[in-house]
Structure 1
Amino acid sequence: MLLHNITLQDFGAYRGTQSLDLTIHPGKPVVLVGGLNGCGKTTLLDAIQLVLYGPRARCSGRGNRSYETFLRESINREADPKGGAAITLEFSITVEGEERLYKLIRSWSMSGKTLHEYVIVKVDGKFQKAISEGWADHVEDLLPLEIGSLFFFDGEKVESLADPDRASAVIRSAVYSLLGVNTAEQLSTDLLALERRTKLTEADQEALGQIRELEEQIKAIEQEVDHAKDRAAKLRSDVDRAKRKLEDAEHAFERDGGVLYNRRAELEQRHTEVAKQLEATEEALISLAAGALPLQLVADQISGLRKQAIIEEEANTAAQVLDVLISRDQRLMDQFGQVLGERERQLLSEHLKTDRRDREIAMHAERILNLSPEGMAQLTAIDSVIELEQRRAEELLEQAGEQASALEDLERQLAGVPEADLIASRLEERDNARDALRRAEAELEKAVEGYETSKNRRVGLNQRLERAHDERVQSLVREEEIRRITDHCKRQRAVMGKFKDLLLHRRIAKLEVAVLESFGQLMRKNGLVKNLSIDTERFQLTLIGADGDPLDSGRLSAGERQLLAVSLLWGLARVAGNRLPSVIDTPLGRLDSRHREHLVDRYFPNASRQVLLLSTDEEIDEHLFERLEPSITRTYTLSHDDTTFTTSVEPGYWWTAGAAHVA
Structure 2
Amino acid sequence: MKLKKLVLQNIGVFVDRNEVNLDCDKPIILIGGMNGRGKTTILEAVLFALYGQYVGNLLGNSLKLTDYLYKISNTRGQNKDCYVKIEFEIQTEDTLQNYTVKRSWNAGLKNIRLQTEVCKNGLRDNTLSQNWDMFIEEILPHAIAPFFFFDGEKIAELASSENDEQIGNSIKGLLGIDVIDRLIQDLEVVENRKEKEIKNNLYSTELAMVNQQSEDINRLIIKLNQEIKSNQKKSEILRLRLKELEENYSIIGGSYAEKRNYTEKEYQTFQEKKKKIDNDLVELAMGDLPLILCKDLLYSIFERVQEEREQKELHLLAQRLPLIYEEFCSKNNSIENIASFLNFVKTKATNETYIYKFEDDAYFRLKKLNKSFKSSCSKALTLIEEKRKIEKKLEDLENYLLIKVDDKQVNSLFQIIKDKTAEKAIIDERIVQENGELEKSLQQLKTINNNKDRLLNKVVEGYENSDEAKRIINYIQKQIGLLKKYKLEVQKLKVKELSQQMTNCFKNLIAKEGLINDIIINSETLSFTYYNSEGQKVNKMALSAGEKQLLVIAMLWALAICSKVEFPLVIDTPLARLDSEHRNSLIRNYFPYASKQVIILSTDQEITDDDYSQIKPFVGREFTLEYQEDEKKSIITDGYFGRT
Give me the TM-score of the superposition, normalised by structure 2: 0.52
1:122-161 aligned within 5 A: 122-161=119-158
User: Is 1:519 matched up with 2:482?
Assistant: no
Asked if the contact 1:46–1:59 (Cα under 8 Å) also holds between the matched residues in 2, the reply is no
1:32 paired residue number: 30
Asked if the contact 1:49–1:58 (Cα under 8 Å) also holds between the matched residues in 2, the reply is no
Deviations 1:115-160 (A, max 9, x none): 2321111122221223222333333233222211221100111012
2:606 paired residue number: 619
1:228-627 aligned within 5 A: 498=485, 500-627=487-614
Distance 1:193 1:634, change over 3 A: same
Distance 1:111 1:494, change over 3 A: closer
Asked if the contact 2:572–2:602 (Cα under 8 Å) also holds between the matched residues in 1, the reply is yes
**Letter in structure 1 aligned against 2:128:** I
Deviation at 1:540, TM superposition (A): 1.8
Distance 1:485 1:96, change over 3 A: farther
Deviation at 1:107, TM superposition (A): 0.8
Secondary structure of 1:130's counterpart equals helix
Distance 2:182 2:584 in 1: 43
Deviation at 1:522, TM superposition (A): 1.3
**Letter in structure 2 aligned against 1:147:** I
Asked if the contact 1:164–1:542 (Cα under 8 Å) also holds between the matched residues in 2, the reply is no
Asked if the contact 1:88–1:106 (Cα under 8 Å) also holds between the matched residues in 2, the reply is yes
Deviation at 1:61, TM superposition (A): 8.5
Distance 1:59 1:631, change over 3 A: farther
Deviations 1:595-642 (A, max 9, x none): 111100101111112111111111112211111112111111111112
How many residue pairs align between the two structures?
378
Distance 2:180 2:56 in 1: 28
Distance 2:46 2:580 in 1: 30
User: Is 1:47 matched up with 2:45?
Assistant: yes
Asked if the contact 2:56–2:63 (Cα under 8 Å) also holds between the matched residues in 1, the reply is no
Deviation at 1:180, TM superposition (A): 4.8
Deviation at 1:6, TM superposition (A): 0.7
Distance 1:484 1:125, change over 3 A: farther
**Which structure 2 residue ranges, 5 or more long, are not aligned?**
194-469
**Letter in structure 2 aligned against 1:170:** I
**Letter in structure 2 aligned against 1:125:** G
**Which structure 1 residue ranges, 5 or more long, are not aligned?**
198-482, 658-663
Distance 1:484 1:537 in 2: 30
Distance 1:598 1:163, change over 3 A: same
Distance 2:59 2:593 in 1: 29
1:68-147 aligned within 5 A: 68-80=66-78, 83-94=80-91, 98-147=95-144
Asked if the contact 1:46–1:60 (Cα under 8 Å) also holds between the matched residues in 2, the reply is no
Distance 1:615 1:162 in 2: 20
Asked if the contact 1:169–1:539 (Cα under 8 Å) also holds between the matched residues in 2, the reply is no
Secondary structure of 2:551's counterpart equals helix
Deviation at 1:170, TM superposition (A): 2.8
Deviation at 1:503, TM superposition (A): 2.9
Distance 2:488 2:63 in 1: 41
Distance 2:568 2:33 in 1: 21
Once the two structures are aligned, what percentage of the paired residues are identical?
32
Secondary structure of 2:590's counterpart equals helix
Secondary structure of 1:23's counterpart equals coil
Distance 1:538 1:499, change over 3 A: closer
Deviations 1:339-381 (A, max 9, x none): xxxxxxxxxxxxxxxxxxxxxxxxxxxxxxxxxxxxxxxxxxx
Deviation at 1:102, TM superposition (A): 1.4
**Letter in structure 1 aligned against 2:587:** V
Distance 1:12 1:61 in 2: 15
Deviation at 1:98, TM superposition (A): 4.8
Distance 2:189 2:135 in 1: 25
Secondary structure of 1:654's counterpart equals coil
**Letter in structure 1 aligned against 2:159:** A
What CA RMSD, in Å, does the superposition of the two structures yield over aligned residues? 3.8
1:185-204 aligned within 5 A: none
Distance 1:124 1:167 in 2: 42
Asked if the contact 2:75–2:107 (Cα under 8 Å) also holds between the matched residues in 1, the reply is no
**Letter in structure 2 aligned against 1:108:** W
